[in-house]
Chain A
């Protein structure tokens, strides 16, 4: 099943498209669709070095968002992570109800201490986990989310929000405004 609701929203950020020659007026929107994903039962490692089973982590019934970033990435990751931090701040005391998961696409470099430093730089609160792990496992997670990047330099800005009511995922492609991310999160029925 695939319900595609491509929404055009003004003032939003999609970066210059290298592959296509997107005319200027096409910039400033993100794509949204609702998808179903089968999460692979892999074991990843969080910023504290603890092993976590991804499937149980994501399908716990708690609201959860997932993005793919890495510690030394330019431009895309700072924006995605600023969005996560912003969501946590906006939700204030409610922020513990929201589980934010970042998964590194550079497990070669991103060891748990590096993940931990990264979270600290963004003043992440509890409830934001940054996961690393076996490259093979992470490849499979990316593939499961239809977000496979052959190389970290082919990275694209993607965020996923799980709708607890039926387990489907909202797929957001593009760099969003802070307020739109908060809104997408609320709409997904998570709050």
Chain B
């Protein structure tokens, strides 16, 4: 972790309809952290990521990536969407999906070539999915699909990674494999931001955490702020009991 701020969010307010889903969020994410975003279903975690990445237009507030707007810095950012956001029956192969990670650097019209294919194969190898490269994506298990999405982000070779529930529906082995990749990214100086639901593993996996429930409850180092007080404030019930059970 360095003193640089990788992602800065100021006064961000987002609404789909009338009711705001995110309210006046201020957030500074230092470079080089492996950060969890935690909060109950519907807390606005996905919405926060989508707003930072310019998928959604906020009602108010601003976002900057290393001090500049997202539009100028998009090559520094990679994204792993929530798995359920796409139709896995789409007629394409695992390799093809991973190749999409190279489309951003290619820009309009230009086709992926050997270089891009090589990068995609390397990413598949990294997530242990090389043997499945020619599989139709609907014939992959949920955990394998998740790894394909991870590989697609890895291929982007970014500085900041946003991942929306990369551990959703994966078994213990895959979870360890994925977290090891994330830790490797951090070691390489990258900033990794992960929406995470399993509170038990937060201290073990992450060094930074943001509590979110429409408003930002707290953000900072796990060892300082990952406590019952913040959990209770975020989830609205007394977490002391449930987490120690």
A binds B: no
Q: Which residues of B are interface residues toward A (Cβ below 8 A)? A: none
